Structure 1
Amino acid sequence: MRRSPDNRTPVPRTRGAARAAAAVVAGVLAVSLTACGGGDDDGDEDAKGGGTGDTGTTVTLPKLDGANLSVAAVWTGAEQANFKKVLAEFEKRTGAKVTFVPAQDPIINFLGSKIAGGAPPDVALLPQPGAIKQAVDKKWAKPLGAEAQAELAKNYSQGWQDIGTVDGKPYGVYYKAANKSLIWYNAQVFENAGASEPKTWDELLTTAQTVYDSGVTPFSVGGADGWTLTDWFENIYLSQAGPEKYDQLAAHEIKWTDPSVKEALTTLAEIWGKKDYVAGGARGALQTEFPESVTQTFTGGDQPKAAMVYEGDFVQVNIGETKAKVGTDAKVFPFPAVGDTAPVVSGGDAAVILKDSKAAQALVTFLASPDAAGIQAKLGGYLSPNKNVPNSAYPNAVQQKMAEALIGAGDDFRFDMSDQAPQAFGGTPGKGEWKALQDFLKDPKDVAGTQQRLEADAAAAYGN
């Protein structure tokens, strides 16, 4: 383990087997994902799952009759609705009343305004390790109690425990995780075009051209949300530059003017800069929010606005808003290898206590248990890093294989790079990396200028 120069949260470094583990995970995905249907599996997954727990009650919670709690997160739509069902189970078991508070990005700013107004939520779901560190530095966050720590130790690998730890104390429970190394595609478009699933970047470019020649735009990009663009870059960079460089850039131990960044941006421009490869062109993509980038790929039958959309397992939530069926109409393949090994990038949201109380500690203890994660797992569009969630809890074989791959990576995963950065650089709309890559989408020829802007913003945010 290591800490970055500004003493942010430690993140897992490469162990000797990191590349091998990444290759194994990518291999599992490549073999299994697109072969799976959208319905329940045949039952054999119970024995092979990402977890070993059962679906019953595994955690003891106190009686909290009369207690009132509020939980803040940036989740909307189906994701928010599904989480509320988890909160409803907590209410049922404890007698507490829990209110969900919709938050805005960046959530640290949202929380700051709530705290300044004297009304902070009891618990917040923070999407960046850097945000956890900020909450600790501002003395907002409260350490996890003994019960929550016990659930964390029992149910999570050391790597997932470490990224919720600041200065040796556990503050965050990663309730939700994401496999962010996936490309989803419209199966009918691929079939009509005679396109095949690529395993390498060059094969992806060939597949894109095949789709384009069939009369369908290859890619849908949600450029209005800058975080989707950072995810594109991170997958290319991790695969092309390798995990050691990835760790160094994540910690700003190397500059964004490094030749490895130039190479990754140049590679990214092979798609973003290709005429008519992105739905709506750069202007249209920059006005397309993430949910629309998904739905426009799976509406319109075999003539959608685009054939493919890159993003994580959570894409399934938005596919669910269309008539497409995951595993049949909507299929998925691992992000292709740009270098020697296909990338495996993860993200997540951690529950952090802001108002220390028996009820808040009990809620986070519940969220650290397989009981809570198992409820949301069954609803789809969700992955848990909790290793004791049974694989059978996931609603279809596609989701089960994703969970199996995530848990199978153990500690040898790479967390989303922008989420590791100070929020001013990696997590603020209209600023830092989000803005620089939106500008790059608009002008993919400006590699050098993009590098310079990224480095200037990073240096200011990291303080070095």
Structure 2
Amino acid sequence: MRKNLIFGLVFILVFSILAACSGDKKAGNSKDKGNEKIKLSVWHNFAGDDLRAKAVRAQIDKFEKDHPEVELDKQAIPVDGFRQRLKTVAAANEMPDVFFSYSGSFTEEFYDGGLIQPITDLWEEKQEWAEKFLPGSKEIFTYDGEIYSAPVAMSATSFLYYNSELFEKYDVKVPTTWDELMTAVKVFNENGITPISLGNKAAWPAQSSVFGVIADHVTGTDWFLKAINNDGASFTDSEFIEALGYFKQLVDEKAFQDGANSIDNTQAEQYFVQGNAAMMINGSWAITNLASSVSKEELEKIEVTVVPSIEGGKGKPNTMTGGPGAGFAMSSKVEGKQRDLAKELIFAIAGPEGQKAIAESESLVMYDVDIDKSKVSDLYYKAFELVKNVNFAPVYDLYLSSAGGDAINQGLQELMLGGKPEDVAKKLQDAQSKAVAE
């Protein structure tokens, strides 16, 4: 009897201890759960050591420091593999929560697939911030009235860079009309100076930097947007063949150096800087390249303006190709508190502080920010002041299908080798109409 009593007491004691331990464990779990970090992932392609990449990563790091409640998975993926990585996870519907997305068809594909969600509420909540974006900033990321990104980059692809020393030496007027441009071409050729430096080995520079803006001057933007969708316009229309004719005129008048299809864009930049060419039609990326690779004396000779308009053309004057280059988007799966934090992360990068940091890294932004001139080159400052007052036209390869983009790139190379505008136009129309129909 006594044994049974002792055994019973021991059993009760052990059971109580175990119950207490279990209770403590449950309480501990509850406490841990309350302190559990919210997971958030962000992917971008700012993996390099350039100033812009460092500026963007610094804004992300600051967000992480300011939000200890967040477990942030940061993936900086090299540019060359970034697009493919995103397309791979998109196919499996496993998008990162926040990610860097290029404007145009790239973002549109994610929208069509239901993979991203609007951040219109961020734009509405931050009115003072939203009002300082340059015209066209939100439109390219707007679908069915909702805004899906906030741009942190400007893709300006057709600056006309010119060597002021050479223009002064040969008494050439900086061109504001097509006829003045052709006069400049003639004078520089007569004096043994290449008029326009071009490196078209990769095929896209002639299209993205030179032809696109010429074509918009002739056809206007509305015509192009109809043509890419086979909506009442065709690339075999007379105005497009006329635009190709203006490009061919540059070729026939020897505006570009011999072998332009055999040298790359970097070689073309150096050819221009060395004084071998009087002009260069190139993108905003050239500013960063030149600022980091040439002497202050060489840089001081370089001025920047727009490609001159064409009399009788349907495009707006003072226009260059470009606009918002890319911004950060949000996965459609993000919700609740995680979504609130994702919005804060996007604002941390694309907000006033982030825009200023990116701008002062010698990278153009679609935002009216006050820049500390001591932190940037004179060339960059001139370019940034210029783009505040220009009209932007679509960059062809951002809107055409992949097949259409290849067709115009290859077609322009053919024109530079003696091809006919009509043949180039037909190949582009065939490629684009087939892509639209699929």
Tell me the TM-score normalised to structure 1 length: 0.71
Tell me the residue number matched to 1:329: 301
C-alpha RMSD of matched pairs (Å) = 3.3
Matched, 1:259 2:238: yes
Query: Structure 1 CA distance, aligned partners of 2:85 and 2:186?
Result: 43
Q: C-alpha displacement at 1:458, in angstroms?
A: 1.1
Tell me the residue number matched to 2:429: 455
Matched, 1:316 2:291: no
Q: C-alpha displacement at 1:204, in angstroms?
A: 1.3
Equivalent AA in structure 1 for residue 52 of structure 2:
N
Query: Structure 2 CA distance, aligned partners of 1:157 and 1:331?
Result: 23
Distance verdict in 2 for CA 1:72–1:65, change over 3 Å: same
Q: C-alpha displacement at 1:268, in angstroms?
A: 0.4
Distance verdict in 2 for CA 1:320–1:126, change over 3 Å: same
Q: C-alpha displacement at 1:372, in angstroms?
A: 0.6
Q: Following superposition of structure 1 onto structure 2, how do residues 364-375 of structure 1 map, counting pairs within 5 Å?
A: 364-375=346-357
Report how many aligned residue pairs link the two structures.
Answer: 381
Q: C-alpha displacement at 1:247, in angstroms?
A: 4.0
Specify which structure has the bigger relative contact order, considering alpha-carbon pairs within 8 angstroms and separated by 6 or more residues.
1
Higher Rg of the two aligned structures: 2
**Cα offsets for 1:256-310 (capped at 9, x unmatched):** 00000111111101122444x423424424xx1x333223311x3x4x3x33210
Matched, 1:139 2:106: no
| Structure 1 contact 103–110 (Cα < 8 Å) conserved | no
Q: C-alpha displacement at 1:454, in angstroms?
A: 0.5
Q: C-alpha displacement at 1:159, in angstroms?
A: 3.4
**Cα offsets for 1:164-208 (capped at 9, x unmatched):** 022333212221113434211234443444433111122112212
Query: Structure 1 CA distance, aligned partners of 2:124 and 2:201?
Result: 38
- Tell me the SS of whatever aligns to 1:159: coil
Q: C-alpha displacement at 1:446, in angstroms?
A: 1.5
Query: Structure 2 CA distance, aligned partners of 1:445 and 1:205?
Result: 21
Q: Following superposition of structure 1 onto structure 2, how do residues 166-181 of structure 1 map, counting pairs within 5 Å?
A: 166-181=143-158
Matched, 1:87 2:57: yes
Aligned partner of 2:215 among 213, 220, 237: 237
Matched, 1:406 2:382: no
Equivalent AA in structure 2 for residue 321 of structure 1:
S
Query: Structure 1 CA distance, aligned partners of 2:394 and 2:349?
Result: 20
- Following TM superposition, the consecutive aligned residue runs of length 4 or more in structure 1 with deviations greater than 6 angstroms are 75-78
Q: C-alpha displacement at 1:110, in angstroms?
A: 4.2
- Tell me the SS of whatever aligns to 1:344: strand
Query: Structure 2 CA distance, aligned partners of 1:271 and 1:76?
Result: 38
Equivalent AA in structure 1 for residue 353 of structure 2:
D
Query: Structure 2 CA distance, aligned partners of 1:244 and 1:118?
Result: 34
Aligned partner of 1:379 among 361, 364, 370: 361
Aligned partner of 1:210 among 173, 187, 191: 187
| Structure 1 contact 142–171 (Cα < 8 Å) conserved | yes
Aligned partner of 2:411 among 426, 436, 458: 436
Bigger helix fraction? 2
**Cα offsets for 1:306-343 (capped at 9, x unmatched):** 33210233321111233244761222232112225343
Tell me the TM-score normalised to structure 2 length: 0.75
Tell me the residue number matched to 1:297: 272
Query: Structure 1 CA distance, aligned partners of 2:377 and 2:51?
Result: 20
Equivalent AA in structure 2 for residue 242 of structure 1:
G
Query: Structure 1 CA distance, aligned partners of 2:251 and 2:185?
Result: 12
| Structure 1 contact 130–423 (Cα < 8 Å) conserved | no
Q: Following superposition of structure 1 onto structure 2, how do residues 2-401 of structure 1 map, counting pairs within 5 Å?
A: 69-73=41-45, 80-95=50-65, 96=72, 98-104=74-80, 108-115=83-90, 121-144=96-119, 146-147=121-122, 150-151=125-126, 153-156=130-133, 159-231=136-208, 232-253=210-231, 254-275=233-254, 277-285=255-263, 288=264, 290-298=265-273, 300=274, 302=275, 304=276, 306-325=277-296, 328-340=300-312, 341-347=317-323, 348-354=325-331, 356=334, 357-358=338-339, 360-380=342-362, 382-387=363-368, 389-392=369-372, 395=376, 398-401=379-382
- Tell me the SS of whatever aligns to 2:199: coil
Equivalent AA in structure 2 for residue 446 of structure 1:
K
Equivalent AA in structure 1 for residue 244 of structure 2:
L
Distance verdict in 2 for CA 1:436–1:158, change over 3 Å: same
- Tell me the SS of whatever aligns to 2:319: coil
| Structure 1 contact 194–210 (Cα < 8 Å) conserved | no
Equivalent AA in structure 2 for residue 450 of structure 1:
V
- Once the two structures are aligned, what percentage of the paired residues are identical? 20
Structure 2 unaligned runs (5+)? 1-35, 66-71
Distance verdict in 2 for CA 1:103–1:313, change over 3 Å: closer
Q: C-alpha displacement at 1:404, in angstroms?
A: 4.1
Moved more, 150-159 or 218-227: 150-159
Query: Structure 2 CA distance, aligned partners of 1:419 and 1:186?
Result: 30
Q: C-alpha displacement at 1:155, in angstroms?
A: 3.9
Structure 1 unaligned runs (5+)? 1-63
Query: Structure 2 CA distance, aligned partners of 1:118 and 1:249?
Result: 32
Q: C-alpha displacement at 1:366, in angstroms?
A: 2.1
Q: C-alpha displacement at 1:439, in angstroms?
A: 3.2
